[in-house]
Chain A
Amino acid sequence: MRKLIEFRNIVKSFDGQVVLKGVNLNIYENEFVTLLGPSGCGKTTLLRILGGFLEQDEGTVIFDGQCIDKVPAYKREINTVFQRYALFPHLNVYENIAFGLRIKKMGNDIIAQKVNRMLSLVNLTGYEKRNVTKLSGGQQQRVAIARALVNEPNVLLLDEPLGALDLKLRKEMQRELKRIQQEVGITFIFVTHDQEEALTMSDKIVVMNAGEIEQIGTPLEIYNEPANAYVARFIGESNIVDGVMLDDYKVRFDDKNFECVDFGFRKEEPVDVLIRPEDLAVVKPKDGVLRGEVKNVIFKGVHYELMVETKTGTKKTVQMHVVTQHDLTNAQAGEKISANDFYVDSDDLENKEMTDQDFISIANAQAWDEEDRDISLTRVSHNIEKRPGIYTITFGTEKGTEVTVNVHVIHPEYVEDARHNIGISALDFFITPDEIRDSMAISTDLKTWASAEAWNLQDDSPVEITDVRFDFDPADVKEGSYDITFATRGRVYKVETTARLEVGDRVGLDFGPEDIHVMHKEVTDV
Chain B
Amino acid sequence: MKSFFRMSYPYLVWIALFIVAPMIMILLYATTRSSNGVITFSFTLDNFARFFSDPTFLKVLWTSLRIALITTVFCILIGYPAALFIANLPEKRQTFMILLLTLPMWINMLLKTYAWRGILMNFDLESEVKVFIGMVYDFLPYMIIQIHTAIAKLDRNLLIASYDLGANRWKTFLKVTLPLSVPGIISGITLVFLPAVSSFVIPKLLGGGNYVLIGNLIETYFLVAGDWNFGSAISLIMALIIIASMYLTKKLDRSTVEEG
- Which residues on B sit within 8 Å (CB–CB) of A79? 164-165
Instruction: Given the known inter-chain contacts A53-B160, A80-B161, A131-B260, please indicate yes or no for A88 contacting B168, CB distance below 8 A.
Output: no
Instruction: Given the known inter-chain contacts A82-B160, A84-B157, please indicate yes or no for A89 contacting B180, CB distance below 8 A.
Output: yes
Closest residue of A by beta carbon distance from B182:
A90
The reply to whether B163 and A103 form a contact with Cβ atoms under 8 Å apart is no
Instruction: Given the known inter-chain contacts A86-B158, A90-B259, A103-B171, please indicate yes or no for A51 contacting B180, CB distance below 8 A.
Output: no
The reply to whether B160 and A88 form a contact with Cβ atoms under 8 Å apart is no
Closest residue of A by beta carbon distance from B258:
A131
- Which residues on A sit within 8 Å (CB–CB) of B168? 72, 74
B118 adjacent to chain A (CB < 8 Å): no
Q: Which of A60-95 contact B (CB under 8 A)?
A: 72-75, 78-80, 82-84, 86-92
B126 adjacent to chain A (CB < 8 Å): no
Q: Which of B122-173 contact A (CB under 8 A)?
A: 155, 157-158, 160-168, 171
Give the shortest distance, in Å, between B46 (CB) and chain A (any CB): 49
- Which residues on B sit within 8 Å (CB–CB) of A84? 157
- Which residues on A sit within 8 Å (CB–CB) of B161? 80, 82, 86-88
B59 adjacent to chain A (CB < 8 Å): no
B176 adjacent to chain A (CB < 8 Å): yes
The reply to whether A90 and B165 form a contact with Cβ atoms under 8 Å apart is no
A104 adjacent to chain B (CB < 8 Å): yes
The reply to whether A86 and B157 form a contact with Cβ atoms under 8 Å apart is yes
Other A-B pairs, 4, CB within 8 Å; known A91-B260, A103-B165: A88-B162, A90-B257, A99-B175, A104-B166
- Which residues on A sit within 8 Å (CB–CB) of B260? 90-92, 129, 131-132
Which A positions have Cβ atoms within 8 angstroms of B? 51-53, 72-75, 78-80, 82-84, 86-92, 99-100, 102-104, 129, 131-132, 147-148, 151
- Which residues on A sit within 8 Å (CB–CB) of B81? none
Give the shortest distance, in Å, between A127 (CB) and chain B (any CB): 12
The reply to whether B160 and A103 form a contact with Cβ atoms under 8 Å apart is no
How many angstroms between the C-alpha atoms of A52 and B162 in the bound complex?
12
How many angstroms between the C-alpha atoms of A151 and B162 in the bound complex?
12
- Which residues on A sit within 8 Å (CB–CB) of B166? 74-75, 100, 103-104, 151
How many angstroms between the C-alpha atoms of A147 and B175 in the bound complex?
15
Instruction: Given the known inter-chain contacts A88-B158, A90-B259, please indicate yes or no for A100 contacting B165, CB distance below 8 A.
Output: yes
- Which residues on B sit within 8 Å (CB–CB) of A80? 161, 164
Q: What 7 A-B pairs are tightest by C-beta distance, nearest first?
A: A100-B165, A86-B157, A86-B161, A92-B260, A73-B163, A131-B260, A103-B166
Q: Which of B53-100 contact A (CB under 8 A)?
A: none
Closest residue of B by beta carbon distance from A51:
B164
B179 adjacent to chain A (CB < 8 Å): yes
- Which residues on A sit within 8 Å (CB–CB) of B164? 51, 53, 73-74, 78-80, 148
Give the shortest distance, in Å, between A491 (CB) and chain B (any CB): 48
Tally of A-B Cβ pairs under 8 angstroms: 70
Q: Which of B155, B163, B165 contacts A53 (CB 8 A)?
A: B163
- Which residues on B sit within 8 Å (CB–CB) of A51? 164
Size category of the binding interface on chain B: 20 to 34
Closest residue of B by beta carbon distance from A98:
B165
Give the shortest distance, in Å, between B152 (CB) and chain A (any CB): 16
- Which residues on A sit within 8 Å (CB–CB) of B160? 53, 73, 82, 86
The reply to whether A82 and B176 form a contact with Cβ atoms under 8 Å apart is no
Q: Which of A82, A131, A148 contacts B157 (CB 8 A)?
A: A82
Determine which residue in B167, B257, B258 has the highest number of CB atoms from chain A within 10 A of its CB, and name it: B167
The reply to whether B158 and A103 form a contact with Cβ atoms under 8 Å apart is no
Give the shortest distance, in Å, between A465 (CB) and chain B (any CB): 47
How many angstroms between the C-alpha atoms of A493 and B198 in the bound complex?
82
Closest residue of A by beta carbon distance from B179:
A90
- Which residues on B sit within 8 Å (CB–CB) of A73? 160, 163-164
How many angstroms between the C-alpha atoms of A53 and B171 in the bound complex?
17
Closest residue of A by beta carbon distance from B165:
A100
How many angstroms between the C-alpha atoms of A89 and B257 in the bound complex?
9
Closest residue of B by beta carbon distance from A157:
B164
Closest residue of B by beta carbon distance from A75:
B166
- Which residues on A sit within 8 Å (CB–CB) of B257? 90
17 intermolecular pairs with C-beta atoms under 8 Å apart: A52-B163, A53-B163, A72-B168, A86-B157, A86-B161, A87-B161, A88-B158, A88-B161, A88-B180, A90-B256, A90-B257, A90-B259, A99-B162, A103-B167, A104-B166, A129-B260, A131-B260
How many angstroms between the C-alpha atoms of A12 and B167 in the bound complex?
26
**Contact bitstring B26-38, A, C-beta under 8 A = 1, else 0:** 0000000000000
- Which residues on A sit within 8 Å (CB–CB) of B162? 88, 99
- Which residues on B sit within 8 Å (CB–CB) of A151? 165-166
How many angstroms between the C-alpha atoms of A72 and B256 in the bound complex?
31
Give the shortest distance, in Å, between B174 (CB) and chain A (any CB): 10
Closest residue of A by beta carbon distance from B157:
A86
How many angstroms between the C-alpha atoms of A147 and B180 in the bound complex?
19
How many angstroms between the C-alpha atoms of A83 and B160 in the bound complex?
12
Closest residue of B by beta carbon distance from A129:
B260
- Which residues on B sit within 8 Å (CB–CB) of A52? 163
- Which residues on A sit within 8 Å (CB–CB) of B259? 90
- Which residues on B sit within 8 Å (CB–CB) of A104? 166
- Which residues on A sit within 8 Å (CB–CB) of B165? 74, 79, 99-100, 103, 147-148, 151
**Contact bitstring B4-38, A, C-beta under 8 A = 1, else 0:** 00000000000000000000000000000000000
- Which residues on B sit within 8 Å (CB–CB) of A91? 260
How many angstroms between the C-alpha atoms of A92 and B259 in the bound complex?
8
- Which residues on A sit within 8 Å (CB–CB) of B258? 131
How many angstroms between the C-alpha atoms of A87 and B160 in the bound complex?
11
How many angstroms between the C-alpha atoms of A84 and B160 in the bound complex?
12
Give the shortest distance, in Å, between A128 (CB) and chain B (any CB): 11
Give the shortest distance, in Å, between A439 (CB) and chain B (any CB): 45
How many angstroms between the C-alpha atoms of A90 and B179 in the bound complex?
7
How many angstroms between the C-alpha atoms of A73 and B171 in the bound complex?
13
